Amino acid sequence: MTALSPQFLPEHGAAVPRSVLLPDGTPRPGVVPSLDDDQVVAALELMLLSRAFDEKAFSLQRQGRFGTFSPVHGQEASVVGSAFAVEPGHDWIVPQYRELPALLRHGLPLESFMQTFMGDPRGGAIPPGVNLLPIQIGLAAQLPQAVGLAWGRRLRGDDAVVLVYVGDGASSEGDFHEACNLAGVLRAPVVFLLQNNGWAISTPRSRQSAAATLAARAPGYGFPGVLVDGNDLLAVHAVVAEAVTRARAGDGPTLVESLTYRVGAHNTADDPSRYVPGDALREWQERDPLSRVRGYLRARGSWDDEREIHAAERIRARIDAAVRVVESTPPPGAPALFDHVSAQLSDRQRRQRADLLAQPETT
């Protein structure tokens, strides 16, 4: 036995995050973008939609027309860049709850997402062919499921990859460790996209782990961990695309730590001014992921004010149309309590259903 030579000292984790674009959108010399301009435009439009939806959801919530909602604000590059690295209809996305644009990209109707947050169980319906598991409120519970899904798809003989999202806070749960461990053992085709947005409600990243980076955990599970600038669309895309390629080739999982920041509130019920330091917030606001992509595309002649205005109009129309559809849908009735609970209701459940429907208030 040789003396133990620690390979992963905390300092080693303090690696420089991968980045492609400088904060003004200028590409670093020598890097070849992994998306062409049309794709970047599509990604930007999705980021703009996400930003606009955050605002709409907050205003609807304030008017009592929407439930508790967690905005994506500040994390759009992280979510969209990663979602663009997997193929809708073939690969799978397993969300936490703050990844709306990834769900849209993968084929979930905006209306469904809205219904869920308006308290309508029918929003949970995932259309056939849309490869998503439901959003996850029980933090980290999605991770073991994602590993099982990746394993199962391989057993079924396809080469689908599973992209699973998790927050820095949720990564402290036992389920995170257990899922990474199993994924390593099985060399499962899964990419763990850990969005480190600095906060879990009021709890800072520094209270979740003493490790210098969360990506540094990966070697302990026997697979690579990569740190990426989460406000850099092209960097996130490049890193996740590499991880997807590895996974598809049978080389196993990757943990990607996307360094970003929750610029807004945890959710519509939260007041971050009680705990988020103003300096950090301002610093991150200056690193806005949307501005960076705009700068990049403008310099290449693929974006301008006119396109921005048209995109904003289309987005507003799409969101308003979704609001109209959802708000004009008749509300679910009492029988919906029993819908999709099991393949077949028991006699007892059928009796409960009949009793409930016989109540004057439920008719």
Partner 1 sequence: MTSMTMLEAINATLRDEMARDDRVLLLGQDVAQLGGVFRATEGLLERFGPDRVVDMPLAEAVIVGAAIGLAAAGLVPVAEMQFLGFSHQAFHQIGAQLARMRYRSQGRFPMPVVLRAPFGGGVRTPELHSEALEAQFVQSPGLQVVMPATAADAKGLLQTAIRQPDPVLFCEPLRGYRLVRDEVPDGDAPVPFGTARVAREGDDVTIIAWSAAVHVARRAADRLAEENISAAVLDLRTLVPLDEAGILDAVAATGRAVVVHEAPFTGGFGAEVVATISDGAFYSLEAPVARVCPPDTPYPAGKIEDYYLPSVERVVAAARATVKAP
Ligand X SMILES: Cc1ncc(C[n+]2csc(CCOP(=O)(O)OP(=O)(O)O)c2C)c(N)n1
331 sits near partner 1 (criterion: CB under 8 A):
yes
- Other residues' Cβ atoms within 10 Å of the Cβ of residue 107: 15
- Does residue 128 belong to the site contacting partner 1 (CB under 8 A)? no
Task: Give the three-class secondary structure for 97.
Answer: coil
Which residue type occupies 322?
A
Least Å distance, CB 109 to ligand X, is 23
Q: Which of 46, 40, 36, 37 is nearest to 314 (CA)?
A: 46
Q: What is the four-CA torsion angle of 73, 75, 79, 85, rounded to 10 degrees? A: 140
Site for partner 1 in 207-226 (CB under 8 A): 207-209
Q: Which of 73, 153, 154, 262 is catalytic?
A: 262
Write down the least CB distance from residue 256 to partner 1, Å.
19
**Active-site choice (237, 266, 287, 294):** 266
Say whether residue 15 binds partner 1 (CB under 8 A). Answer: no
Q: Which of 62, 275, 350, 351 is catalytic?
A: 275
Q: Is 97 considered catalytic here?
A: no
Using DSSP bridges, classify how beta strands 203-204 and 199-200 pair: parallel, antiparallel or unpaired. Answer: antiparallel
Please report how close the Cβ of residue 226 comes to partner 1 at its closest, in angstroms: 23
**Sequence-distant (≥ 6) Cβ neighbours of residue 53 within 8 angstroms:** 100, 110, 319
Q: What is the CB-side half-sphere exposure of residue 270 using CA atoms within 13 A?
A: 19
- Part in contact with partner 1 (CB under 8 A); list of ranges 50-58, 100-108, 134-142, 243-251: 134-142
The contact mask relative to ligand X for 42-71 (x = CB under 6 A, - = no) is: ----------------------------x-
What is the rounded CA–CA span in Å between residue 254 and residue 187? Answer: 10
N-terminal to C-terminal alpha carbon distance within the chain? 76
Placement of tokens 């763990």 in the chain: 192
Contact positions vs partner 1 (CB under 8 A): 67-68, 116, 118-121, 123, 137-139, 169-170, 172-175, 200-203, 207-209, 269, 274-275, 331-334, 336-338, 341, 346, 348-349, 352-353, 356, 359-362
Which positions lie near ligand X, rule CB under 6 A?
70, 98, 137-139, 167-170, 197, 199-201, 262, 266
